[in-house]
């Protein structure tokens, strides 16, 4: 929306230059007459509306007329007429893309200024009616902005509508948004703000809904996610409240999973992810996430106590869930990379153990190195497949480079060194090396 307003202002500067010689009061009168002519026959007199748009900026910017109610109310009516063109087309064709979504914003701003300058009863009435009409149109235009994924513009439009709505209610006028739709309006505002990266605005309106005890489960999940991403210790309170109100809600369950992943509470994660699998048995990402839980448990056990029965169980459990993920989606990158990393990391630990042995333990050293090489060979096909899906994943490229170094395949070491350097330097590898 800011770009639209900037474009509009650039146009107006040109208009001002062309009409600099006209007296402001005369320009105001002519703008009103041009608007009246347009309203008499909009289909035939479109040029009259353009004329009114040009003329009204003269009194708006002139000292003798810029503090006049009539100036700003006329400007509001002109831009509301422009917004009506798109509004009427949308009523007939919901796929219509508004040509001037900024017109409703300019109308609102003009009527707001007119209200500030109003002195007579009818002036206040006219300004409030203009605000209501323009905000109604802008509320509709916001939906088309959302459809175009212009979430920042949509948020600004929806917030302006919300503020006008509150103003009208305070003045005893009918609201633009009926009471039963207010929560939904706030939620869409917050979500658009979140999608556009405006986290502060998103948090503000999610909090407003949360404090009001909203019955929309998504609010609890999204508000929690924003706070949790910032490491806010109060985030868990939001999550617990959502869980209490909506114990069966999947979105809140996945928000919980994200929280316990961040906290590395693998025992709770195991329970939550198994619950998630029951809810969404065909979701490969859930199986992959549970595989990662067991992979982390395996690595801690293996590094601390060696290849114990517990470590073997965790390894096999991880492998089992990763493979279930791949059964559902053979292109599941996380599962492929994770299987490769389990074999790879185990191999690295064995090499470290071998290097820590005294020189007298030569046989043990060779056994560990041989086992490490076997594990590297088991990891390789998974990393190859992962690279074929995402040729720009840093960890995959590092692993492939190291494995080929161990194999003394220096041509491929050079190849993956170059690819890794590309990614580090912000250059995308346009295609994968391995075609699978």
18-21 contact pairs (CB < 8 A, 24+): 18/54, 19/54, 19/55, 19/57, 19/58, 20/58
Fold held by 331-436: 1.25.40
Torsion angles phi and psi, residue 300, rounded to 5:
-65, -45
Distance in angstroms (rounded) separating the CA atoms of residues 78 and 80: 5
Nearest to 32 by CA among 79, 75, 85: 75
Ordered by start, the domain boundaries in the chain are 1-172, 331-436
**pLDDT tens digit sequence for 44-95:** 999 999 999 999 999 999 999 999 999 999 999 999 999 999 999 988 988 8
Tell me the residue length of the chain. 436
CA pair distance 378, 399, nearest whole angstrom: 13
Q: What pLDDT is stored for residue 362 in this prediction?
A: 87
Q: In this structure, what token pair is assigned to residue 141? A: 């235009």
| Res 12: pLDDT | 52
187 closest CA partner among 136, 145, 221 = 221
Pull the structure tokens for residue 22.
């006209």
What is the pLDDT, as a whole number, of residue 21?
Answer: 63
What Rg, from alpha-carbon coordinates, does the chain have?
32
Hey, what are 202's tokens?
């998103």
Regions in the chain scoring below 70 on pLDDT: 1-21
Q: Which tokens in the block code for residue 366?
A: 């060779």
CB atoms within 10 A of CB 213: 8
Which pTM was predicted?
0.70
On the 0-12 / 13-18 / 19+ scale of CB atoms within 10 A, 42 is middle
**With contact defined as beta carbons under 8 Å apart, do 186 and 209 qualify?**
yes
* Residue 139 confidence (pLDDT): 94
Q: Report whether 188 contacts 158 (CB < 8 A).
A: yes
């Amino acid at each position: 929306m800011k770009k639209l307003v900037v474009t509009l202002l650039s146009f107006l500067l040109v208009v001002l230059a062309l009409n600099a010689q006209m007296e402001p009061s005369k320009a105001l009168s002519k703008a009103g007459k041009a608007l009246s002519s347009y309203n008499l026959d909009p289909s035939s007199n479109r040029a009259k509306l353009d004329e009114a748009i040009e003329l009204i900026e003269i009194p708006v910017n002139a000292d003798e007329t810029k503090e006049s109610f009539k100036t700003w109310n006329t400007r509001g009516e002109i831009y509301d007429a422009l917004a009506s063109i798109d509004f009427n087309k949308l009523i007939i064709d919901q796929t219509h893309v508004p040509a001037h979504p900024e017109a409703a914003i300019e109308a609102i701003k003009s009527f707001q200024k007119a209200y500030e300058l109003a002195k007579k009863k009818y002036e206040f009435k006219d300004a409030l009616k203009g605000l209501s009409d323009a905000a109604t149109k802008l509320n509709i235009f916001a939906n088309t902005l959302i459809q175009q994924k212009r979430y920042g513009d949509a948020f600004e439009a929806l917030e302006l509508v919300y503020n006008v709505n509150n103003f009208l209610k305070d003045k005893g006028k009918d609201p633009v948004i009926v009471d039963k739709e207010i929560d939904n309006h706030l939620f869409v505002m917050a979500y658009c703000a979140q999608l556009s990266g405006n986290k502060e605005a998103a948090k503000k309106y999610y909090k407003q809904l949360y404090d009001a005890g909203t019955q929309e489960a998504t609010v609890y999940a999204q508000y929690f996610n924003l706070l949790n991403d910032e490491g806010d210790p109060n985030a868990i309170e939001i999550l617990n409240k959502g869980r209490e109100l909506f114990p069966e809600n999947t979105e809140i369950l996945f928000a919980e999973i994200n929280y316990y992943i961040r906290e590395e509470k693998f025992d709770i994660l195991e329970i939550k992810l198994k619950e998630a699998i029951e809810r969404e048995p065909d979701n490969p990402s859930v199986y992959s996430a549970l595989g990662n839980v067991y992979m982390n448990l395996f690595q801690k056990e293996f590094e601390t106590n060696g290849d114990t029965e517990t470590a073997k169980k965790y390894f096999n459990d991880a492998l089992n869930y990763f493979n279930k993920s791949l059964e559902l989606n053979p292109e599941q990158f996380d599962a492929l990379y994770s299987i490769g990393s389990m074999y790879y990391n185990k191999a690295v630990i064995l090499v470290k153990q071998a290097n820590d042995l005294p020189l007298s333990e030569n046989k043990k050293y060779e056994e560990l190195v041989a086992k490490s090489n076997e594990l590297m060979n088991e990891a390789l096909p998974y990393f190859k497949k992962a690279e074929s899906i995402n040729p720009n994943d840093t960890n995959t490229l590092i692993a492939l480079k190291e494995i080929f170094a161990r194999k003394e395949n220096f041509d491929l070491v050079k190849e993956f060194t170059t690819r890794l350097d590309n990614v580090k330097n912000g250059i995308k590898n346009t295609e994968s090396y391995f075609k699978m």
